[in-house]
Structure 1
């Protein structure tokens, strides 16, 4: 009994101590974990600040080429519309109804061919009347000549009688007056004959003018009337265009005015014939500039023996100012600015590894794609043609050499590679 009573309180005391220990251990573990976490964070932060960042890069790739010799032209490109070399509007001098029109739009016409005929019945009647009037005038003249001859014979008889003393002074005066009157009447009848002949000639000419002849070779561009219509002098009947040569008018700006000269070569292209060029020349240049646009009109004439070019076509015109034969050239895209002032320079590649160098050069004319190199580089120099906007002097690059002809045909972008 005593043992049982003594051991029970001891067991109760041990259980209470265990609960107190559990309560103290949990906060202690949490505190230790926080201290360790903070230490690890601080250490990683310090490592991050002090560790160097390593970036591995490859040299930038650039396209390069060598200068070459080519024929080069300095030119400007302009646009205009083609016009016929000459254009004629057909009209009639007299009114009349149209009897026939042998040609239609698009037909080729030769000078002197009948292209329109008016009804000629009225003019035929005028010719007949004029012929009859001329016949009457000639008959009257013949009768008058006979009467004049009689007056002259009468005067001659009086002269004979006067020598015999038979005729009187009054008879002689009357005979002289009669002869003068007959001479004047004869002159009048001769004038009437001339008038009748003139009227007949005029009526015949008017009859001929009922047939309108083509004044020039060409093509019928427009037919503005038809058979049966009434033609009037103030109404255009048709239009004929001459296509042996065509022309276009382009407008040059003020800075190019002095470069354009009469007779200069011009190269023309049209959308109808892709890849084909036509040669022309500067025919005329306006002596003044338009004050609104500051441009001057330039007339270009183009031979068109096969009639390929048609009025109304949209034309691109290149006027050639200067020509260089076998001169050193580079793509104009290879040019950059000098560092020491105005002028041109290029990037040259040299050394091992390849390093860029700015080389000052002197340039001449250009055609928009190629530029003439007068001095500054040698034939063996590698010049950056693509990528020169992405590099600086003294930079290591990876050059990719491309022949000049391929550079001009299809320049391709250079891929840029950078590894981090």
Structure 2
């Protein structure tokens, strides 16, 4: 009886051990992280999609763009409406009633300079006037043309030194102090005229700019350049005045492409209503144009690593290629515009891109 009991318990123990062994979970398969090297081509990462839960593929595709092309821009001065007032003599600044940001009119006195160079040139001019007057005498017949040429040359010299024509006409005696006048109407955007300081020819004293018309320089992606042309009308909106539309025209398109952003600068002449647009302001430009197309992928198909975006492009059944991608602005539908790096119809990893990127780095380290 005792032997039978022992046999029964032994059988039960053996049966229990077998049951526990059958219920033990299977070991998790290890992810393969092998690089497949290809001569003259980027390597591939060997990976089975079934080993990465949640990993799948999506297709790179083209989508239609609206007939309004939007781009980011910056307001700048129209350089054709900016004037630098520079010293043309060696001397000293005696007076200046103008400060930065002041509005000045064309011909308004802005700085007084003291220089012996003025006296020398003024004396030559007054002497030429005296000679021209004497040339009218009968005994000086035939010298009139020469005298007139001398007057004109002396007057031109004074103008080149910075004297205004109306001040030259009023000149009676040589004076070392001369007022320099603004050549245009506008806003003083730079003032370097400090009373009492010495100046030399070429020193910039003032910069005056006109703001009734400004430039908005927008950055347009190279894929969209076929949709824009000179003479095209546009609208610009700023965050400072979101309810006001500034209208303008495209006047120039840059002849080169920025290799970093794959954009071309487009210069627009814009009417500055109320002088509200200030140089340096950011603007959103809307260009009315023909519909176009853009290459897009879901945002989840991209991974940012170090300083660039990357996508993993399917190559065969069990391998992917890590490829650098240049992108445009994010869209509202959760897609990203692809500027370069991918082609229509290619399939890229969607979901678990961070894990796939980590596997890529592990494979690179193992292969180095």
TM-score by length of 2: 0.50
The structure that has the greater radius of gyration is: 1
Q: Which has the higher strand share?
A: 2
Give the TM-score normalised by the residue count of structure 1: 0.44
Select the structure that is richer in helix.
Answer: 1
